[in-house]
Structure 1
Amino acid sequence: MNVIIFYRLQRVSGEDFRKAEEFVKVTKILYTSTLCVSAERSPTLGQILPILNKLQHHFTVNKEDSSFTKTIKDTLWNDLSKRYQDGNIRQFLEEGTALDPRFKSKVTNEVWTRLEEELMKRTSEQTPTEQIEQALEESNQDDSSDEDSASATTALKRPKLSALEELFAVEDMAVEARMQTTVSSTTERIQAEINKYRLLPSTLSSVSPVTWWWDMKDTLPMLSELASRYLCVQASSTPSERTFSTAGDIISQEWA
């Protein structure tokens, strides 16, 4: 005798469809963000924090959200909020964001102060008169007079001049005077360049920041060089991993 057993199939209800739609609506931004940092063109570190801020805003719970949506938002942001919290990494990303012409308006004044200090440091390292610059900088911090600056410069002179130095003493004094003028104007030039950059309108998100800085290298030379050191860092390792994967599809061990 054959026994036929009927099973009641579990059907998808209207509530299930509603939750599925809510889930897709809430999490779609994660897919788009992943595409941004994994793109082939200009996926620089300058876009990481702006994307993270947009995710934070998106995953903020609203009073209109259902309990299901609230659970998804809380769970996702609880994980994302722990990313990039290391102090040094965070500062590096903030400075990279400031040097990205697409997102430069999204950083605080503290970031610009750090960039100014970084430019001063690099300028000091490139200048052969580092001791004179340091003496003048210290005198400016102490609000000293021009006489104090002159005495600090004089103290750095060697006590005994060689025959050649004695012969060209007047010319050397003129060179030192020009050096002092350059030193005193370095901070002003850096501040002027940063202010000029900040006053420029932000570019569209479709603009390549690397190409933009290449076009501005004559207008903003110091910032352009600094930007190249930051924006060469990729937002993720996906493009390089994709290259290795493609190479693995082309080259095999049998060819080696």
Structure 2
Amino acid sequence: MKSFLSLGIGKSAAILEAPKPASGILPHHEEESLANLWVDITKSEAGCSKIISEVRNYGEAIKSIQDAEEKLLKDLGSSALTAISPELRRATDEYLSVVMEMKPKSEETSSAVQQVMGDPLKQYHALYEHLDTLRRRRDAQLVVVQKCQDKLDRLKLKGKRTTDVIVERDSAKRHLKEINGQLLSEAKKFHSLRQPFLQPCIQAYVQTQVDYYGTANSQFSSHIQTSRGAHQIKDAEYDAMMGEHLRKIKSLKIVAT
């Protein structure tokens, strides 16, 4: 039972490998508990990797939107259409003022989403490496026990003395049970801490988005109201005028491409 996933952005994929089965060597309830818990951890770690990727994509998307709006306004400002249309020129200038006012907020939000969600998730995600080290120790000790058992079985078949091997095997089994118990305890702790660790991160992430979109909406709404008051245009006339501007904008080659 294996699941392939990245242990962090920029790192090569690693194997989130489940503990080797130890049927007949370790208690059945411990084996079943560890196997089920590892399935849950594997699913959660895969989800953690996906969230890390999505947070990065979201931050990049905010930057891309800001860059696209600035490019659009630059192209509009240099186009012949705004040169012959004072109304479109004025609308472009007003749009530019809002976009430039939003630029610091876009940069702040892009950085904030990484700080409140991306970085904490990567830090928690990396804690699995300690757990995996313990898992490898447990699997290595299981191999020791199996070798002792194989040696014991061969000696029995040959009718030779087995006392020393039995002592060696039992000692190895006790050590295995100790490591297995530690792995089970650490795995439960690791998995149980995920929700209280991530909840404030998610809340901060959502709050950052609300703040960003709330600021954008406020900026555009405020500027629209100011523009209407400055030009004394009725709502219907204003909507018709902006609709015509949007139609012209959409007809531009730079928009079509």
TM-score (normalised: structure 2)? 0.30
Higher relative contact order (CA 8 A, sep 6+): 1
Larger Rg, first or second structure (1 or 2) = 2
Bigger proportion of residues as helix: 2
